[in-house]
């Protein structure tokens, strides 16, 4: 008991101080992993505090994952998995990168388009045109659904006017789209299925909604359908979050058959498909046809999210959702409660940008640029690194997902540290899984932030790193 002794300051609530103390005991391994904590009554008596204070402290630790509470049994210390501290370290490395602490580096962690390809001049023209045309209106107007002309343009250009305009909801980027959908759709303890591995930003939102998260492994043409159906038979699933093109991080594109099958399952087992179409503009191979699940969705089972941020202007948060009819009102209320509406000026500017044809031209331009990087990456990986790694050809998008061959005696976190010394940065697979242990032999190489010259240098560093030299 003595190890729990502590004194209190007035600076912050006691329960936080107690939690801090216990967290420290666990981190310093004074409390072993799995060790039982004192009962609430005991510890309250020992520390001379109210029982509620201990309850709050244990609750806080339990929410953080530092303590496991088992009903009728008690509370147990849980050593934080290495993933947690690693994720933090990764984030900090990333922060240093973006805040310009480094002078020169090779950044394979990028997920969004490069500053070199941002169409500043045309966007500036569009913004000024909007300000001259609409004046204050552009700065004051708020419609929770978004600027009607933009929704109209989206419908016309991307959906052949086949979607009801009332079902297009403008959001401040795809991340907000996921958040808004979750708020309306997902309740505490609902079962949510995701791809394994998946986009961490979505995973975090579902965790935050306190959903039960069920991972379905990816195969070369989409998620493992058989396993998914097994799970559907046992559990009531509320929704399935997926990326139909160039799945993040695997780069995999769903086959038409799997997309159809998913739709069938969603009808049969009554769940919704959240289709995050984040990068489908960048198709480099004619074998890939663009046909999102939403286009096959005759029964209103698909909630479609599109981001304009990843590929166009990451610093401008913009995207849209296509909602099934039954969620139209609830998504709007969710949007309104989240941030009232998306910047009116930027919506209008994007509308002008699209209607003037800038959008199409720009997409053609960056497709060419990224296509050539893709070819270069693929060529080097296939030729120079073939004895060290495996990968699935993504045929599009902005990254490769690499598996280190088992005979190479290194995992991707080790590689991360080795490469960091050479100012080369990769994203280890562990970042894309719900639990640690998974993804140890994989990593993602995004090439949006790396020039051709640097790609050659960076892959050489990776080669050396894996070779152990």
279-308: which residues touch a copy of itself (CB under 8 A)? 299-300
Buried b (16+ CB within 10 A) or exposed e, 132-149: eebeeebeeeeebbbbee
Grouping H, G, I as helix, E, B as strand and the rest as coil, residue 161 is coil
Cα–Cα distance for residue pair 311/99, rounded to 1 Å: 21
Residues 6+ apart with CB under 8 A from 146: 168, 169, 170, 171, 320, 341, 342, 347
Question: CA-CA-CA-CA torsion for 167, 235, 246, 424, nearest 10 degrees?
Answer: 120
Q: Among residues 2, 99, 160, 406, which is the contact residue for a copy of itself, using CB under 8 A?
A: 99
**Piece in contact with a copy of itself (CB under 8 A), picked from 35-43, 124-132, 274-282, 402-410:** 124-132
Site for a copy of itself in 139-158 (CB under 8 A): 139-143
Min separation Cβ 161 and a copy of itself, Å? 21
Cα–Cα distance for residue pair 187/323, rounded to 1 Å: 18
**Piece in contact with a copy of itself (CB under 8 A), picked from 125-133, 191-199, 399-407, 417-425:** 125-133
326 lies in the site for a copy of itself, by CB under 8 A: yes
CB-nearer residue toward a copy of itself: 88 or 368: 88
Cα–Cα distance for residue pair 54/397, rounded to 1 Å: 50
Q: Among residues 18, 44, 127, 186, which is the contact residue for a copy of itself, using CB under 8 A?
A: 127
Site for a copy of itself in 159-198 (CB under 8 A): 172-173, 175-176, 179, 183, 187-188
Site for a copy of itself in 20-79 (CB under 8 A): 52, 56, 63
CB-nearer residue toward a copy of itself: 175 or 412: 175
CB-nearer residue toward a copy of itself: 303 or 418: 303
Min separation Cβ 34 and a copy of itself, Å? 25
CB-nearer residue toward a copy of itself: 43 or 402: 43
Backbone angles phi, psi at 162, to 5 degrees: -95, -5
Site for a copy of itself in 232-261 (CB under 8 A): 236
Cα–Cα distance for residue pair 127/136, rounded to 1 Å: 13
- Cβ atoms < 10 Å from Cβ of 312: 23
CB-nearer residue toward a copy of itself: 74 or 201: 201
204 lies in the site for a copy of itself, by CB under 8 A: yes
116 lies in the site for a copy of itself, by CB under 8 A: yes
333 lies in the site for a copy of itself, by CB under 8 A: yes
Q: Which residues pair with 67 in a beta bridge?
A: 77
Cα–Cα distance for residue pair 260/297, rounded to 1 Å: 9
Q: Among residues 2, 11, 48, 72, which is the contact residue for a copy of itself, using CB under 8 A?
A: 11
- Cβ atoms < 10 Å from Cβ of 88: 11
138 lies in the site for a copy of itself, by CB under 8 A: yes
| DSSP state, residue 96 | H
12 lies in the site for a copy of itself, by CB under 8 A: yes
């Amino acid at each position: 008991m003595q190890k729990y002794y502590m004194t209190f300051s007035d600076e912050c609530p006691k329960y936080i101080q107690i939690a801090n103390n216990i967290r420290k005991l666990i981190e310093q391994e004074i409390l072993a992993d799995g060790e039982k904590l004192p009962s609430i009554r005991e510890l309250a008596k020992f520390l001379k505090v109210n029982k509620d204070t201990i309850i709050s402290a244990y609750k806080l630790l339990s929410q953080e994952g530092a303590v496991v509470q088992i009903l009728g049994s008690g509370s147990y210390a849980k050593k934080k998995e290495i993933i947690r501290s690693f994720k933090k370290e990764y984030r900090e490395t990333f922060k240093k990168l973006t805040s310009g602490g480094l002078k020169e580096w090779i950044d394979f962690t990028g997920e969004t388009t490069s500053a070199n390809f941002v169409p500043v001049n045309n966007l500036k023209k569009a913004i000024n045109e909007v300000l001259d045309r609409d004046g204050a209106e552009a700065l004051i107007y708020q419609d929770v659904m978004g600027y009607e002309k933009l929704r109209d343009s989206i419908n016309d250009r991307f959906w052949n006017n086949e979607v009801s305009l009332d079902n297009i909801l403008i959001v401040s980027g795809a991340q907000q789209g996921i958040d808004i959908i979750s708020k309306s759709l997902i309740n505490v303890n609902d079962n949510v299925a995701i791809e394994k591995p998946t986009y961490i930003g979505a995973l975090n939102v579902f965790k935050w909604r306190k959903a039960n998260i069920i991972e379905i492994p990816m195969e070369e043409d989409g998620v493992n359908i058989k396993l998914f159906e097994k799970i559907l038979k046992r559990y009531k699933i509320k929704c399935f979050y997926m990326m139909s093109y160039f799945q993040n991080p695997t780069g995999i594109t769903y086959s038409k058959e799997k997309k159809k099958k998913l739709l069938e399952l969603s009808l049969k087992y009554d769940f919704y498909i959240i289709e995050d179409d984040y990068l489908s503009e960048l198709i480099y191979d004619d074998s890939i046809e663009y046909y999102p699940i939403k286009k096959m969705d005759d029964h209103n089972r698909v909630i479609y999210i599109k981001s304009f941020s990843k590929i166009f202007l990451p610093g401008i948060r913009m995207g849209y959702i296509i909602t099934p009819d039954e969620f139209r009102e609830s998504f709007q209320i969710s949007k309104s409660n989240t941030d009232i509406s998306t910047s009116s000026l930027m919506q209008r500017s994007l509308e002008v940008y699209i209607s003037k044809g800038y959008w199409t031209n720009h997409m053609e331009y960056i497709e060419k640029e990224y296509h050539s990087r893709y070819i270069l990456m693929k060529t080097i990986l296939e030729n120079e690194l073939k004895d060290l790694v495996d990968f699935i050809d993504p045929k599009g998008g902005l990254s490769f997902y690499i598996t280190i061959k088992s005979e190479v005696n290194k995992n991707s976190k080790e590689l991360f540290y080795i490469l960091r010394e050479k100012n080369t940065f990769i994203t280890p697979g562990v970042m894309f899984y719900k639990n640690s242990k998974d993804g140890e032999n994989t990593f993602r190489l995004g090439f949006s932030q790396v020039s051709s010259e640097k790609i050659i240098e960076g892959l050489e560093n990776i080669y050396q790193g894996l070779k152990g030299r």
